[in-house]
Amino acid sequence: MAVSLGRDRSGHRRRRPGLRRQARLLPVLPAVVLLLVFLAGPVLWAFHASFTNAALTGRNARSPGWIGLDNYARLLSDPVLPLSLGLTVLFVGGSAILGQNLLGLTLAVLMRRARRTVAAAVGTAVVAAWVLPEIVAAFAAYAYFSRDGTLNQMLGGLGIGQTDWLYSFPMVAILLANIWRGTAFSMLVYRAALNDIPGEVTEAALMDGAGGWQRLAFITIPMIRGSIATNLMLITLQTLAVFTLIWVMTAGGPANASTTLPVLAYLEAFKFGDIGYGTAVASVLILIGVVFGAAYVRLLREGKP
């Protein structure tokens, strides 16, 4: 301890700056350890397994061997990968970046102007889908879009012919289900961000004659830019990992028409028993998430003064 302490001009002991900085890091040490064990550990294992012929059962499950880049070379020649990659981009872009984000912002803006009872009723209805357990929400969406489901019952009541939505338009049904399921998160983020805008700014814009769209485009959106980037990052990464909703509704079918990357990784690893190839697909998904996360973090930094 004598090495870590010095004395000031008055003779009092003082802690060295380096030791103070280290002491400030102590409270976050448990969180860092947990992240390393439960986040970095599985990610590193997934990357390692993608270079092996690990299997779910059999000899390769007991003693997997190193096969280098064979799984990634197989990925490049797999005809399902481009389809799965495109469906993943469509799913994230359509349901999260456009659907949840824009609908959440629209609801937050409208609820700010609506009567309190109307805002409370709309907020409760939207949040109800979000608080449901994922498996329950997935079964509810399946019951709504299935051939004998609620949607066809309503269309039949209007004299409109019934459609097997999960077979004829599987991605449309999944996109709408994920928008319904996740819009509440964006709405809550934007409601909190809008409440932080000073009333004086809005009043000054009104006195200058700015209309509703002008206030939204030139005042509201620039002032909540950080919240927009944060929301986009969170819902993008969350949607990239959606599996249960798709699996319950379509199981990736028909004919891989809704097989996103998480579903493809699951099929390869646990249905066909090829853990090595399945983790290679999962590694691609991780890299896509890293790219999206880095882009949003850069957007957040650019938004800071």
What pLDDT sits at residue 305?
55
Amino acid identity, residue 183? T
Give, to the nearest 10 degrees, the angle between helix 80-91 and helix 275-303. 30
Q: Give pLDDT tens digits for 64-88.
A: 899 999 999 999 999 999 999 999 9
What pLDDT sits at residue 205?
82
Place of tokens 């700010």: 112
Place of tokens 């000054």: 204
The answer to whether 98 touches 180, Cβ cutoff 8 Å, is no
Q: Which residues are 15's β-sheet partners?
A: 5
How does strand 13-15 pair with strand 5-7?
A: antiparallel
What pLDDT sits at residue 112?
84
What is the rounded distance in angstroms from the CA atom of residue 270 to the CA atom of residue 260?
15
Q: What is the mean pLDDT of each run of 10 residues along the chain (305 residues)?
A: 50 63 82 87 90 90 90 92 94 94 93 85 85 91 92 88 89 95 93 88 82 84 89 92 94 92 94 93 91 84 64
What pLDDT sits at residue 108?
92
Q: Which two tokens stand for residue 124?
A: 């409760």
Kind plus residue range of the DSSP H or E element containing 15: strand 13-15
Q: Going from the N-terminus, what domains does the chain have, and what CATH number goes with each?
A: 73-303 (1.10.3720.10)
Whole-model pTM: value is: 0.85
What pLDDT sits at residue 162?
79
What is the rounded distance in angstroms from the CA atom of residue 115 to the CA atom of residue 61?
61
The answer to whether 1 touches 7, Cβ cutoff 8 Å, is no
The answer to whether 233 touches 296, Cβ cutoff 8 Å, is yes
